[in-house]
Amino acid sequence: MIYAYIMMVFVVIFYAGNILTGKAINELPPFTIAFFRLVVAFMIMLPFGLRSGWAYRHKFLEYKKPFMMMTLTGITFFNTFIYGALQFTTSTNVSVLETVIPVATVVLSAILLKERLRNVQLAGVFVSLIGAVWVVLDGDIFSIANMDWNIGDGIMIGAIGSWAVYSILVKKYIHLFPQFGALFVMSGISIVVLLPIVIVEWAIAGVPMELTAPANITGLVYLGIFPSFIALVLYNRGVEALGASQASVFLNFLPIVTMIGAYLWLDETITIMKMAGALTVIFGVMLTTRKNNESAKTRFRKTAE
């Protein structure tokens, strides 16, 4: 049991590292970061996913529409939105807004899948949204009417929506495919989709000379290996040992770990208001996703981090 807890601690650290590293190398354009991260992940997953991916090729074709939607929302664009947001806002804000994803998934499930929300879940949705807005506004709720909105916080809405849609599709379809084979194929498709976008990005902004900087190369390698591969393996083993509900609770501590890392590594300021808002979001998420909604949290940041 202690071994499982240790694994989940490393999962949270690696996922927080995804945000912190994305912020540290944000001199690179967001599509460039997402593209090369996936290239590294694809190469790492090659010996693990090639055989099963090929064996299930007919299954991928049979369910090509939902599989493509899962690929685009969960693998291709989810982290692209995150890296785009990190160009403009802090890693702390991104980590807190990211924890709203399970709440958005529950709400979207109620709308699309007609799943009924209990009163305690509705309360959790409200509390989480208040906490997220509190963090973005640094506690000054009354400034919402006349504030200049940070575009990065707005971009995170795209990330929240992408992963919510992905989670619903995963709930319905992911059991049809082999885990590593599916991730391998998804990464390959995402590389193909992002390549022309990266070319356009470079044509507009120029080829980033910083791409060859040792720190940026190290950052891209980290993003491809640890959040995308090792953390996934540890998380899945943690779920096997602890159960989905107990393991997923650890992910609610992502903002806390990210805040500490941002303070130590990126010199970001942590205010009491932001800490209070983060704790409020965590409390709201735990209310919203308790008991019969553990599936939404099970899928939260499982493969695209």
Q: What is the pLDDT of residues 7-44, one digit of tens each?
A: 888 988 998 999 999 999 989 999 999 999 999 999 99
| Tokens of residue 108, six digits | 């979207």
The answer to whether the CB of 202 falls within 8 A of the CB of 121 is no
HSE-up of 128 (CA within 13 Å, CB side)?
Answer: 27
- 145 vs 101, residue with greater confidence: 101
The answer to whether the CB of 255 falls within 8 A of the CB of 101 is no
| Whether pLDDT at 141 is above 60 | no
- Alpha-carbon torsion (43, 174, 293, 122), positive or negative: positive
Tell me, what's the pLDDT at 293? Answer: 46
**What is the C-alpha end-to-end distance of the chain, expressed in Å?**
25
For residue 26, what are the contacts with CB-CB under 8 A and spacing of at least 6?
33, 83, 86, 87
Q: Which of 18, 203, 206 is nearest to 94 (CA)?
A: 18
Render pLDDT for 156-171 as a digit per residue (tens, 0 to 9). 889 888 888 887 887 7
The answer to whether the CB of 181 falls within 8 A of the CB of 111 is no
| Whether pLDDT at 248 is above 70 | no
The Cα 193–Cα 171 span in angstroms is 24
Classified as helix, coil or strand, 150 is coil
The Cα 222–Cα 265 span in angstroms is 16
Mean pLDDT over each residue of the chain, to the nearest integer? 81
| Whether pLDDT at 300 is above 50 | no
Report the pLDDT averaged over residues 243-268.
74
- Helices 254-265 and 91-98: crossing angle in degrees, nearest 10, is 170
Return the minimum-mean-pLDDT range out of 88-92, 139-143, 195-199, 270-274: 139-143
- 296 vs 264, residue with greater confidence: 264
